[in-house]
Amino acid sequence: MTEKKQYNLVSIIYDDLCLYGKWQLLLLLLVLITAMLVVLVTYQTRSMIIDREKLVLEKNNLDTEWRSLILEEKILSHHNRIERIAMDKLQMHYTELTQDNTLY
């Protein structure tokens, strides 16, 4: 009778990798590390792109507000408007000098 010898598959794979496949094991580890780094860099890049878009939107809002404030300043500082407010609300009027340089 012949006995069948059983082999442990895990030990065979371990022996092959450690004794004969050191370069392959090293390359496998390098590929896994590189893959993880690619995922990390992609995540950071997408986060930076999202942050940049938020900043661009904020810049656009601030630019719009700035333009509105400049227009408001120009409207409020217009001489005719100031003169009309002074006459209507404050009852101010122009003074005239008489020929003897006294106020009328």
pLDDT tens, residue by residue, 62-101: 999 999 999 988 887 777 777 888 888 888 777 776 666 6
Number of domains in the chain: 1
At 50, the amino acid letter reads: I
For residue 31, being part of any structural domain is answered with yes
Distance, CA of 51 to CA of 44 (rounded, Å)? 10
For residue 96, being part of any structural domain is answered with no
For residue 20, being part of any structural domain is answered with yes
For residue 59, being part of any structural domain is answered with yes
For residue 32, being part of any structural domain is answered with yes
Domain span including residue 53: 9-88
C-beta separation of 65 from 56 below 8 A: no
Distance, CA of 83 to CA of 72 (rounded, Å)? 17
For residue 94, being part of any structural domain is answered with no
For residue 99, being part of any structural domain is answered with no
Q: What is the model's pTM?
A: 0.54
